[in-house]
Structure 1
Amino acid sequence: MNAASKLDQLKSITTVVADTGDIEAIRKFQPVDCTTNPTLVLKAVALPAYEGVVADAVRWGGSLSGNRDGAVKAVADRLAVAVGTELARLVPGRVSTEVDADLSFDTAATVETARSIIAAYKANGIDREKILIKIAGTWEGIRAAEILQREGIDTNITLIFDKAQAIACADAKAFLISPFVGRILDWHVKTEGRTFEPEEDPGVLSVREIYRYYKSHGIGTVVMAASFRSVGEVEALAGCDRLTVSPAILDQLAADTGPLARKLDPAHIGEAPARVDLDEKAFRWAMNQNPMATEKLAEGIRLFAKDLEALRALVAGRLAG
């Protein structure tokens, strides 16, 4: 009898999410959920599997009336939903689709865009129960999530770097949060000029702190750690509610048949941290006092916005051609 791979062991205690839009990778690793962002959509539409999807979206865009910029944005949005639709047909769980990064500080526009994304999925035959609307963890984004959750639209609050963001998301009844393990590590490696073992990794410790807070206080918001730099980081968070992992790291886990220890367990969370009341002033002050979180949140929004512009440029070129 063959020993179970670390990936199989991980799947037995954690919901594994594929951090990719690559259909072949999804078929190979059979994750429960998928997550996308402008970076992943941009990579996905360059794959042969999406040639027909891109061609259909460009054809549709060419039939639109109005200004060119509006058509480009509409086609880019359509592509994101088209990629998500293909993924939703492959996985048994949820697909996260991101609201445009340039709306990260606009609550009303985020809500409106989220509603339109859900409507576009419905037109493709995908129910809202299959979709998570992905929103940056700004104060404005979290307020949009609060509105959407009341409407029955589940949200994934991304770019989480500080416990204050996690607490605000819990108060807003967000369905899920995505703390960015690897990007937290990146900042500390650069700032402190040293490497970190998984058990002292600042990104790992941040997720463990959030997990402990949520489980101690009966908070139902799902913790889905993201942005991993190594197998060691994944192993250090085995047992977390969900982990979204790149195909490269999934490959390494699938090839390793060594034992995998559970590191997070709701039945063994240790001493409960104090409950925190957090208003806007306290939220902004906490973020101000955490230079890593402030810098990484801003950087993450800029990077997603850059890739969104690249996707729109690709669309503009195809429309012009």
Structure 2
Amino acid sequence: MKQGVGVGNNKMKIFLDTANIESIKKYNDMGLVDGITTNPTLLSKEKGNPAEIMRQVVKIVKGPVSLEVVGTTTAEMIEEAHRLKKYGQNVVVKIPMIPDGLKAVKKLKEEGIETNVTLIFSANQAILAAKAGAAYVSPFIGRLDDAGQEGMAIIREIVQIFKNYQFDTNVLVASVRHPLHVIEAGKIGAQVVTLPPDILGKMLAHPLTDKGLSAFLSDWEKVKRENPNLTI
């Protein structure tokens, strides 16, 4: 059984929220990418055929890759889900949080196709998506912050509710705007955060790391000058 919030999955996963092949390869080679989330907007920012981009992403990343439907009726979403699933077995179909979307989630769950319900802005919506059978729910915390609400507050609510009832659904923190969002999500216990490449880059960097490395290298050059035959 897939490990949901209520059944003790203790590994925090990082998904990259992008369709940029260069960024995906860069961070995947570091072992930092557990999965990918995409959407039509992200695909529109990249040059090339969107179908080919999705095909490449699914091959590069071994973990879950969320590909989003654009239909708004249940029938359209189910048909698109079947097409998207052909890109690879690791494809998770991204479905909007609308009534027809939940119908599609239920049907796809019955067919063994995992879904990621997106555009969630309340704990109520997350509960309904989980009950419909979503593998992931994606609360958009940055957009809630922009609207004057505390985005992380609903993450706390959802994680607690899913834990109380052992929902077999992963909380995927989306619309991450800065590294502190990642820290807060980890402290709360959300299983997944998805973030743009620039935020992951900020997580990697620290001025004291650069300063320390520069000092180490400078000192080592001094040692080599004083010991020209030194080998290690």
TM superposition score normalised by structure 2: 0.78
Q: What secondary structure sits across from 1:89 in the alignment?
A: helix
Deviations 1:97-148 (A, max 9, x none): 1100xx33x11221122122223x2xxxx22xx0000011112101111100
User: May I ask how many residue pairs the two structures share in their alignment?
Assistant: 193
Contact 2:85 2:92 in 1 (8 A): no
Q: What secondary structure sits across from 1:174 in the alignment?
A: coil
Amino acid at match of 2:56: E
Give the one of 23, 37, 49 matched to 2:21: 23
Q: What secondary structure sits across from 1:244 in the alignment?
A: strand
Give the one of 49, 52, 64 matched to 1:82: 52
How many percent of aligned residue pairs carry the same amino acid?
A: 35
Distance in 1 of aligned mates of 2:83 and 2:113: 11
**Aligned positions of 1:97-108 closer than 5 A:** 97-100=67-70, 103-104=71-72, 106-108=73-75
Q: What secondary structure sits across from 2:134 in the alignment?
A: coil
**Aligned positions of 1:268-287 closer than 5 A:** none
Give the one of 80, 93, 98 matched to 1:113: 80
Q: Paired residue for 2:104?
A: 144
Contact 2:105 2:134 in 1 (8 A): yes
Distance in 2 of aligned mates of 1:206 and 1:95: 24
CA-based RMSD: 1.8
Q: Structure 1 residue 243: deviation in Å?
A: 0.3
Q: What secondary structure sits across from 1:17 in the alignment?
A: strand
Q: Paired residue for 1:35?
A: 37
Structure 1 unaligned blocks of 5 or more: 1-11, 55-78, 189-200, 259-321
Q: Structure 1 residue 33: deviation in Å?
A: 0.4
Q: Does 1:96 align with 2:66?
A: yes
Q: Structure 1 residue 256: deviation in Å?
A: 3.6
More strand by share: 2
Structure showing greater relative contact order (alpha-carbon pairs closer than 8 Å, 6 or more residues apart): 1
TM superposition score normalised by structure 1: 0.57
Amino acid at match of 1:222: N
Contact 2:109 2:134 in 1 (8 A): yes
Structure label with greater radius of gyration: 2
Deviations 1:232-286 (A, max 9, x none): 222111142100011111001011499xxxxxxxxxxxxxxxxxxxxxxxxxxxx
Q: What secondary structure sits across from 2:147 in the alignment?
A: helix
More helix by share: 1
Distance in 1 of aligned mates of 2:100 and 2:158: 21
